[in-house]
Amino acid sequence: MSQLANKVAIITGAGRKNGIGAATALRLARAGVQVVVGDLCAPPPSNAANPGVGQWQELEEVAGMVEAEGVRCLPMRVDVTDLAAVESMVSATMAEFGRLDILVNNAGVVFGPAPVLQMQEDAWRKTFDVNVTGVFLCCKAALPAMIQTAGQYGAGRIVNMSSLAAARPKPFMASYAASKAAVIALTQALAQEVAQFGITANALLPGDIDTGFKQWGLQLESLVRGKALDEITSEAVAQIPVGRLGTPEDVAGLVAYLVSDEAAFITGQAINVTGGRELSQAAMPR
């Protein structure tokens, strides 16, 4: 995908070395893309999924790994729920690189997973703030720069991370599932709006991807169901036709395709990256 050389991408939620954001940054860097990696870089609230939040030192390490691929990388602290912070990230990107071709909205969390009957309103709202409003604000802030870039260089690409949870919700995860379903609707509306500017927008639905966030989820399920972690993991793998958990690189490879010229006729899609998991009957936690 040599046509990606010298393009510029912003990737949010890229502060964990074993995460989808970091893997995507590395995959694009290998294709010659200059990369901005962003993350909150602050301790999350106690009711948040800690594995989902990268710290500054780790974000700098991710940036170093990206630059080792021979491209420039700009690490940035950003709270995707704060429009001013997001606009500052976009402004810094334009000041550093002079263009913005690709936006990957990967930042995501879940606060206070619980049965709906017991879920705290604040946990619900915070989950939506990051997973949905964060995507909206990043698109809103990035689009003027992307439209300008597309007008000068041609084409722009937006990839939003939804989740298989949007299509196959699990008990106790209603806020996360609902927020990720909203990401799909946002993406499909946006795709129709920005097509006139030569910009595509697609959503990815990763399934069971072996990240720190997934391991946290497996551990939580182990605790709730009173089963050993190995047993919970084996049950999860048994539901995946290809017989393994996915890797961040499995998702990153599809991102790289969607932001390339080969995917110019693909927009408004919600694409599963699951190893076939959605084809299997869901196991109901008790």
- CA torsion through residues 281, 173, 21, 2, sign: positive
Q: In Å, how far are 1, 44, 92, 249 from 29, measured between CA atoms?
A: 11, 29, 19, 13
Phi, psi for residue 161 in degrees, rounded to 5: -85, 110
Residue with tokens 């709906």: 116
Strand partners, 102: 9, 157
Active site annotation includes 176:
yes
Q: In Å, how far are 167, 172, 265 from 109, measured between CA atoms?
A: 17, 14, 31
Catalytic residue among 124, 136, 176, 213: 176
Q: In what order do the strands lie in the sheet with 270-273?
A: 73-77, 34-39, 8-12, 102-105, 156-161, 199-206, 270-273
Reading phi first (left if > 0) and then psi (alpha if -120 to 50, else beta), residue 178 is in: alpha
Strand partners, 271: 204
Q: Which residues are catalytic?
A: 176
